[in-house]
Amino acid sequence: MLACVPLVGCFGGANPAWLAPCALVARPGSSLVYGAGARGGVVVVLDLEAGRIESQFAIAGRPTGLAWADAPRRLVVTVSGPVDAVAVYAPDDGQGIATWPAGHGVCSPVFSRAKKRLYTCNRFDNEVCAYDLSTGRKVSCIATLRQPIAAALSPDERVLVVARHLPEGTANALVVAAGVTLIDTESERVRAQVRLPSGSTGLQGLAISPDGKWCAVPHNLGRFQVPTVQVEYGWMNASALSLIALEDSRLVGTLLLDEPRRGAANPWAAGWSPDGAVLGLTHAGTHEISLIAMAELSRRLADQAQGELIGDLEFLRGIRTRVALPGNGPRALAMAGQKAYVAEFFSDTVRAIDLPTRSVVASFSLGPGAGSTEASRGEQLFHDATIGHQGWQSCASCHPEGRADGLNWDLVNDGLGNPKNTKSLLLSHQTPPAMSSGVRATAEEAVRSGLRHILFAAPSERNARAIETYLSGLRPMPSPHLIEGDLSPSARRGKALFEDAEVGCSGCHPAPLFSDLKLHDVGTGRARRSGGLRLDTPTLIESWRTGPYLHDGSAVTLIEVLTSGNPNDGHGKTSHLTPGAMEDLSAYVLSL
């Protein structure tokens, strides 16, 4: 049972905590909107008619999503860390009713009225689970591909559509892309996997039109096939919208959200006006919302080849309005009546945008926002595309949450023609040198180089210091391969192998950082005139979420790293190990 805990001073009083609103849901038939604060551990209730904060109540953990359920009326909150759970509250007074254990990284709850079920995305377990809302019993779990992060149910409740955050498979393939999973709710089986255009990554949200015809999926589009010599015209990263026809699970087309000299970085959430006339998209990197006239967009798409990437940066001219928002980091979006409500993550605000006039008409201040500490200010800058040239990309475009986008990039810092897989920035400040080939002596140097040569930003030592404070403070998440916080029997056997001098893993990957901070030629690079390719020894911590592996992203699994990715035993002496021993060794590394 969860008790309602009033938060005194969370809105400008004695305890000025940064709430970081991450989810919004409108209460049907009322003027209330609920918002979840990811950092404040709180749900706020906004009365839109009265223009005030009606109430607030604390959540045990960090909210990752909200859902409204009726018959009986319930507010469902997914919570991730320190434990993962689904929490059910009475919406009128915030009294806790029940909590259910959930999968790793649980998020994006969706309620089915017909089946009285609640669906959740278990992001790091790569599955969607269904619960009986009346009992909390887990009914089923459906495997998806990599990192399901957002879900929406069709109006007839026959199809659950799930956005997958990152690409799966190797990073050196011709097509590398994340996509969307469509699940038949009757059979609770996957109906289709829709892959988006090559370079699609960083999916955060999706929305289904009120008539059930369209699913809108905003996402980043990495142009990883070309060297990173400029950012103009989306050369390196573009922002895209993919539209899927639900009737036949077909990708209708993908169009760019940028303009010729003005990027629209980090598209995040999507939402439809109740009549389906307006499609809204938030741009977390450029602090805007796009409002698109859907009827005209549908007509324009009808003239295009089906499933194609539409590269015309003028395609939306005349039918899309970009509304600049006063705050920072618009992420969550809720549409109700003739208003769009946007939660601005870093400024602790919710804005109301009038759809007929395309203007901000009301603001709700939830807290002081980020920036009160150097680390939170650095996190804000890391996600801010406006500090770079023309708003095409932010640091987070290639490093979502400070981790990796799953793509190979041909950076110019060590010559052209040698693309390498994006590295997670976790522990980068503690494990110099930086970059795969160690061309930056420290992470501090790499931060400044990235601002100058990747964002093409004007140099700012103050900004660089804030960003490195944020990055140096990143902490690993517990592995989903742990069992109640401990190693599995297989992982314990793998730990013994890892520490065995004959196998030699711990020689280059010693605890606690699991890196010897040196460069080695392990035989996985293309031969050069000077010999092999010396690469920085990466930390193995959080390996469970950093695939694909090796510097070129050619290994999908750690088993491949230990077999086909380990020629001549240069990457640890593993050729004598049995398949079972390989599985044990992999299980240990995936538990770190």
Q: What is the mean pLDDT of residues 255-278?
A: 98
**pLDDT given at position 527:** 45
- Tell me the C-alpha distance between 145 and 104, whole Å: 15
Q: Which amino acid, 433? A: P
- Tell me the C-alpha distance between 324 and 290, whole Å: 9
Residue 13 pLDDT exceeds 60 = no
DSSP H helices, 326-475, are 374-382, 395-398, 443-453, 461-472
Indicate the range of 14-18, 330-334, 417-421, 546-550 predicted with least confidence: 14-18
Structure tokens at 362: 């009301």
Does the model's pTM come out above 0.75? yes
**pLDDT given at position 150:** 98
Neighbours of 137 (CB within 10 A): 10
Residue 10 pLDDT exceeds 70 = no
Q: Side by side, which strands form the sheet with 189-195?
A: 148-153, 159-164, 179-184, 189-195
72 pLDDT band (50/70/90 cuts)? Answer: confident
Residue 32 pLDDT exceeds 80 = yes
Residue 550: left if φ>0, alpha if ψ -120 to 50, beta else—which one?
left
Strands (E), 165-212: 179-184, 189-195, 200-201, 207-208
Which residue spans of the chain are classified as CATH 1.10.760.10?
375-472, 489-589
**pLDDT given at position 430:** 97
| Percent above pLDDT 70 for the chain | 96
pLDDT tens per residue, range 205-242: 999 999 999 999 999 999 999 999 999 999 999 999 99
The DSSP secondary-structure symbol of 297 reads H
pLDDT tens per residue, range 472-489: 999 999 999 999 999 999
CATH T-level fold of 375-472: Cytochrome Bc1 Complex; Chain D, domain 2 (1.10.760)
- Tell me the C-alpha distance between 486 and 475, whole Å: 18
Average pLDDT, the chain: 93
**pLDDT given at position 371:** 84
Residue 4 pLDDT exceeds 50 = no
Indicate the range of 10-24, 97-111, 211-225 predicted with least confidence: 10-24
Query: What dihedral angle (degrees, nearest 10) is formed by the CA atoms of 246, 309, 383, 292?
Result: -60
Provide the residue count of the chain. 592
- Tell me the C-alpha distance between 443 and 434, whole Å: 5
413 pLDDT band (50/70/90 cuts)? Answer: confident
Structure tokens at 43: 């749900």
The DSSP secondary-structure symbol of 386 reads G
Strands (E), 223-379: 237-245, 250-256, 267-272, 278-283, 288-293, 308-310, 320-324, 330-336, 339-344, 349-354, 359-365
**pLDDT given at position 500:** 96
May I ask the CATH class of domain 489-589? Answer: mainly alpha
pLDDT tens per residue, range 140-163: 999 999 999 999 999 999 999 999
**pLDDT given at position 526:** 60
Backbone phi, psi, residue 497, to 5° = -65, -45
Rg (alpha carbons) of the chain, rounded to whole number: 24
Residue 3 pLDDT exceeds 90 = no
Q: Indicate the helix (H) or strand (E) that contains 294.
A: helix 294-302
Residue 9 pLDDT exceeds 60 = no
